[in-house]
Amino acid sequence: MDYYNNIQFTTIGRQISKFYHVDFRSESYGIAFTRRGRMRFKKNKNPEKIIEAPLVYWYSPENKYTHGCFPGEDRDHSWCFCIGDRIRLITSSVLDQLFPEGCAPINKPVEMIRLFDTMIKIFGQKNPQQHFKIVIALEQVVGLIVESYIAGQKASEPELYQKIKSLANDIKDSPFRKWNFHDLIHYGIQFSYSYFRQLFTRIMGMPPNEYLLLCKMGAAAEMLVENKFLIREIAESCGYDNPAAFSRVFKKKIGLSPTGYITHLPIKQDTN
């Protein structure tokens, strides 16, 4: 199960902290969730922020962090540290792009508490066969962080948000259509491509061409599940004349080659 083994967890836990000042540089990648309390937080040379629960913040080896409680106060926080290429990409290409300051408020704290408690419990069981469940919970944690970002964008830019979301939904529904991101008058988008790309990235978490590519690979995966098309035919639908080139991109985005993806599909049992 290469998809799940791409992330390895080093420590997952929970603690009531009273540390006043901590200078921290992590050797691995981590996501922490403050359930209760407030803290001072600073990433690299950014201005120090005062942040209050519920909130998340994350670590990567490339950055230096300073944080701590206020005198006479404490905070209840959970954490998950791990290594692997996928968590590196999640941190650098998703979280740091959406929240360059390294922290974010959470608008669904009850769900976040449930996910961290689940990870802590399974990690404590030390059962390798349950490893995939921690990965799934971690991906849901990242999903909640992205949801918080989108909710913030929706509140601050409702009209532009709706236009971009409408476009994104249409891209997802019709990924094989020939999209021209320089001509989007139909969607009421009449500003420069540079600003459109910046806005799309802020709202959707990635540039429009990257989002289109991801939607194409997602649709390709669905075609593989249907088991009605040859890999060559799916590659052509995605705009690739060379199936090998398609396979490389598919593996990069989905985590498995098309052949490997088919192999990992659950076997349908005849219930008749």
Per the CB < 8 A criterion, the answer to whether 67 and 17 are in contact is: no
pLDDT confidence bin for 155, thresholds 50/70/90: low
Looking at this protein, which amino acid is placed at residue 202?
R
- Token readout for 76 is 């209840």
| Mean pLDDT of the 171-181 span | 92
Task: Express each pLDDT in 5-22 by its tens digit.
Answer: 889 999 999 999 887 677
At residue 156, the pLDDT reads: 60
At residue 17, the pLDDT reads: 85
Maximal C-alpha separation, the chain: 67
Residue 266 vs residue 197, higher pLDDT: 197
Cα 244-135-64 angle, rounded to 5 deg: 95
Distance CA 76, CA 56 (A): 12
Cα 123-125-127 angle, rounded to 5 deg: 90
- Could you tell me the pTM of the whole model? 0.59
pLDDT confidence bin for 2, thresholds 50/70/90: low
The alpha helices in 41-183, defined as continuous H runs, are: 85-89, 96-98, 109-125, 131-156, 158-173
Distance CA 168, CA 208 (A): 8
Per the CB < 8 A criterion, the answer to whether 26 and 58 are in contact is: no
* Peptide bond before residue 100 is cis, with ω within 30 degrees of 0: no
pLDDT confidence bin for 272, thresholds 50/70/90: very low
At residue 198, the pLDDT reads: 82
Task: Express each pLDDT in 214-246 by its tens digit.
Answer: 999 999 999 998 888 999 999 999 999 999 999
Structural domains in the chain, CATH included, are: 2-155 (2.60.120.280), 156-204 (no CATH), 210-263 (1.10.10)
pLDDT confidence bin for 197, thresholds 50/70/90: confident
Lowest mean pLDDT, pick from 38-47, 64-73, 146-155, 213-222: 146-155
Cα 3-87-95 angle, rounded to 5 deg: 130
* Mean predicted lDDT score pLDDT of the chain: 87
Q: Which residues contact 7 (CB under 8 A, 6 or more apart)?
A: 82, 83, 84, 86, 87, 135, 138
Whether the predicted pLDDT of 154 surpasses 70: no
pLDDT confidence bin for 266, thresholds 50/70/90: low
| Mean pLDDT of the 26-43 span | 91
Terminal CA-CA length for the chain: 30
Whether the predicted pLDDT of 267 surpasses 70: no
